[in-house]
C-alpha cells in the first residue's frame, strides 16, 4: 500500500511539473550539444529579448484558451497593424512617443473590443471572428505602411523603453555610484538579490500565517527544495544577465505583465470566471455569473496585449514592416498548450504558458547555435507541441493511449 502511494505521488509530481522537467532536460541537452554556448550570458539575454513578445501574447492567449479552448488567430496581424500605426505616428507624423503609445493601446483595445463583441454577445465562433481579423488587419497594415518599411527615428525614448535592441538595458546607476566601469552590472545583481530575498520572505510569512490559522501547508522538505530551486534559478539568471549588459528593459515589462496576470488569474473573482466558463459554461451561468462579459474581457484584453506586443516588436526591430507579426499567434497558442493549458478550456496557468514559451525559445536558440536548418526547426517545434499535448491528454486518461470508442 505504502509503495503504491509512493508511485502515485511520483506520477502526480511528474504530471504537475512535466514541462519544468522537460525544460531542464532540454537545457542540459543543448548545453552538451552546443558545448555550453547556450548558457553564455549574451545568449540568455537574447532568449529574453527575442521572446518578449511571445511571453506577452501567450499570457493574453491563455485567457482566451481558458474560456473554452478558443484561440485568437488575429494576434499576429494586430501586432503588425498596431506597430504600423505607431511607427507612422512617431516617424511620419512626428507625434511624441508617449502620446503614440497611448494611441496604440487605444487602437489595440478598440480592435479587441470589436472582435470580442461579436464573439461574446453575438456568439460568432472565435475561430471565425479572429480569422477574419487576421485577414483584415494584415491587409490594413499594408495600407497604413503603403507596403513599405517605416524606420523609427526616435531612438532614445520609445526604443529604450520597450526595446530589446543593442542598448536597451536598465542603466547601471548603482555601478556608477560605486566607481567607473565595473565588470559586472551591479544594479542587476542588487535587483536579483532583492527579488530572491523578497520571494523567500513572502513564502515564509505565508507559511507561518497558514500554520497559525491551522490550514494545510506543503510538507517541509519539498517546500524547502522548491524554495532553493527557484531561488537558485533566479540567482543564476541574475548573475548571467549581470555578466552581460544587465537587465533588458523589456524584461521589466514582461515581468510586470506576468505578475499582474498571474495575480488576476489566481486571486481575483474576474480571473476565477475565466476558469469557470471554460470548465462548464452552463453551470457558470446558473451560478449567476455573466458569461458573455467573461468572453468579452478575454478577447478585449487580447487586443490590449497584442498592442503591447506590437510596441515591443517595432522597438526591437526599430522599424515597422507589413510582414511583421506573422505566425505570432501560433507561437502564443503553442506556448499555452505546451505549458499545460487544456484544449477544451478551464485548465491552464500563466506561469505554465511562460514556461511553454521559454521552452520554445530555448529550442529555437539551441537549434540556431547548432546550425540546424530553419525548416527543420519548424519540424522540431511542431513535434514538441504535438508531444506535449499528447502527454497532457494521455496522462489525464490514466496513461491509456487509445481513447474508448
Partner 1 sequence: MAKILLEMQNITKLFPGVKALDNVNLQVEEGEIHALVGENGAGKSTLMNVLSGIYPYGTYEGKIIYNGQECKFTNIKDSEALGIVIIHQELALIPYMTIGENMFLGNEQGRSWKIDWAETYGKSDEYLRTVGLKESSRTLIKDIGVGKQQLVEIAKALAKNAKLLILDEPTSSLNENESKDLLDLLLKFKQEGLTSIIISHKLNEISYVADKITVIRDGSTIETLDKEKDDISEARIIKGMVGRELSDRFPKREKNIGDICLEVIDWNAYHPIYSDKKIIDHVSINARKGEILGISGLQGAGRTEFAMSVFGKSYGEKISGTLIKDGEKLKLNSVQEAIKNKIAYVTEDRKGNGLILSNSIKFNTTLANLSGVSKNGIINKDNEYAVAVEYKEKLKTKCPTVEQNVGNLSGGNQQKVLLAKWMFADPDILILDEPTRGIDVGAKYEIYCIMNQLASEGKTVIMISSEMPELLGMCDRIYVMNEGRIVGEMPIEEATQESIMACILQSDNAEITA
Residue 368: other Cβ atoms inside 10 A: 16
Q: Residue 319's beta-bridge partner residues? A: 151
Q: Which is nearer to partner 1, 12 or 167 (CB)?
A: 12
Minimum distance from residue 210 beta carbon to partner 1 (Å): 7
Which C-beta is closer to partner 1: that of 4 or that of 179? 4
Of the pair 155, 285, the CB lying nearest partner 1 is at 285
Q: Closer to partner 1 by CB, 267 or 323: give it.
A: 267
- Do residues 164 and 316 make contact, with C-beta atoms less than 8 angstroms apart? yes
Q: Identify which of residues 158 and 391 has a Cβ nearer to partner 1 in the complex.
A: 391
User: What is the binding site for partner 1 (CB under 8 A)?
Assistant: 209-210, 213, 215-216, 267-270, 272, 275-276, 279-280, 282-290, 342, 346-347
- What are the grid coordinates assigned to 318, written together? 526599430
The answer to whether residues 33 and 242 touch, using CB atoms and an 8 Å cutoff, is no
Distance CA 223, CA 34 (A): 33
Nearer to partner 1, 192 or 345 (CB): 345
Single out the residue of 251, 230, 254, 233 nearest to residue 59, CA to CA: 254
Spatial CB neighbours of 333, under 8 Å, sequence gap ≥ 6: 61, 65, 71
Helical packing angle, 291-317 and 97-120, nearest 10°: 150
Q: Are 158 and 152 in contact (CB under 8 A)?
A: yes
Q: Where are the beta strands (DSSP E) in 87-233?
A: 150-151
CB 299 within 8 A of CB 70: no
CB of 289 to partner 1, least distance (A): 8
Dihedral (CA of 10, 14, 20, 23) sign: positive
In angstroms, give the least distance from the CB of 230 to partner 1. 20
Least CB distance from residue 269 to partner 1, whole Å?
A: 5
Identify the helix (H) or strand (E) that includes residue 320: strand 319-320
Nearest residue to 110 (alpha-carbon basis) of 328, 344, 300: 300
Q: What are phi and psi of 325, to 5 degrees?
A: 80, 5
Closer to partner 1 by CB, 276 or 306: give it.
Answer: 276
Least distance from partner 1 to the Cβ atom of residue 135, Å? 28
Of 189 and 276, nearer to partner 1 (C-beta) is: 276
Kindly state the smallest distance separating residue 273's Cβ from partner 1, in Å. 9
**Beta carbon nearer to partner 1, 3 or 404:** 404
Cβ at position 6, least distance to partner 1 in Å: 16
Question: What gap in Å lies between CA 208 and CA 272, rounded to an integer?
Answer: 26
Tell me the closest approach of the beta carbon of residue 396 to partner 1, in angstroms.
10
How far apart are CB 344 and partner 1 at their closest, in Å? 8
The secondary structure element, H or E, covering residue 4 is helix 2-33
Amino acid at each position: 500500500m505504502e509503495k503504491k502511494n509512493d508511485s502515485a505521488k511520483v506520477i502526480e509530481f511528474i504530471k504537475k511539473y512535466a514541462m519544468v522537467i522537460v525544460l531542464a532536460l532540454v537545457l542540459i541537452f543543448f548545453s552538451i550539444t552546443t558545448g555550453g554556448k547556450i548558457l553564455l550570458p549574451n545568449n540568455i539575454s537574447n532568449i529574453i529579448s527575442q521572446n518578449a513578445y511571445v511571453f506577452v501574447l501567450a499570457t493574453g492567449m491563455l485567457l482566451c484558451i481558458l474560456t473554452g479552448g478558443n484561440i485568437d488567430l488575429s494576434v499576429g496581424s494586430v501586432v503588425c497593424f498596431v506597430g504600423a500605426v505607431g511607427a507612422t505616428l512617431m516617424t511620419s507624423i512626428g507625434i511624441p512617443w508617449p502620446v503614440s503609445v497611448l494611441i496604440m493601446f487605444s487602437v489595440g483595445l478598440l480592435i479587441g473590443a470589436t472582435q470580442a463583441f461579436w464573439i461574446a454577445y453575438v456568439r460568432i465562433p472565435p475561430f471565425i471572428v479572429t480569422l477574419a481579423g487576421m485577414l483584415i488587419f494584415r491587409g490594413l497594415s499594408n495600407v497604413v505602411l503603403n507596403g513599405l518599411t517605416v524606420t523609427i527615428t526616435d531612438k532614445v525614448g520609445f526604443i529604450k523603453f520597450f526595446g530589446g535592441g543593442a542598448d536597451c538595458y536598465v542603466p547601471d546607476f548603482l555601478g556608477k555610484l560605486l566607481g567607473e566601469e565595473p565588470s559586472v552590472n551591479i544594479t542587476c545583481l542588487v535587483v536579483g538579490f532583492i527579488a530572491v530575498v523578497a520571494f523567500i520572505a513572502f513564502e515564509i510569512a505565508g507559511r507561518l500565517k497558514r500554520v497559525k490559522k491551522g490550514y494545510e501547508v506543503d510538507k517541509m522538505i519539498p517546500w524547502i527544495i522548491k524554495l532553493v530551486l527557484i531561488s537558485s534559478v533566479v540567482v543564476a539568471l541574475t548573475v548571467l544577465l549581470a555578466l552581460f549588459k544587465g537587465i533588458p528593459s523589456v524584461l521589466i515589462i514582461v515581468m510586470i505583465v506576468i505578475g499582474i496576470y498571474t495575480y488576476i488569474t489566481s486571486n481575483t473573482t474576474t480571473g476565477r470566471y475565466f476558469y469557470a466558463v471554460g470548465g462548464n459554461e452552463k453551470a457558470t451561468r446558473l451560478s449567476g455569473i455573466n458569461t458573455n462579459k467573461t468572453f468579452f474581457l478575454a478577447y478585449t484584453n487580447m487586443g490590449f496585449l497584442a498592442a503591447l506586443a506590437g510596441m515591443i516588436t517595432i522597438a526591437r526591430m526599430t522599424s515597422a514592416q507589413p510582414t511583421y507579426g506573422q505566425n505570432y499567434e501560433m507561437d502564443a497558442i503553442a506556448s499555452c498548450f505546451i505549458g499545460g493549458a487544456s484544449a477544451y478550456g478551464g485548465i491552464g496557468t500563466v506561469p505554465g504558458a511562460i514556461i511553454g514559451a521559454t521552452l520554445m525559445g530555448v529550442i529555437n536558440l539551441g537549434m540556431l547555435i547548432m546550425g540546424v536548418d530553419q525548416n527543420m526547426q519548424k519540424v522540431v517545434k511542431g513535434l514538441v507541441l504535438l508531444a506535449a499535448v499528447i502527454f497532457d491528454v494521455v496522462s489525464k486518461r490514466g496513461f491509456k493511449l487509445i481513447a474508448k470508442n
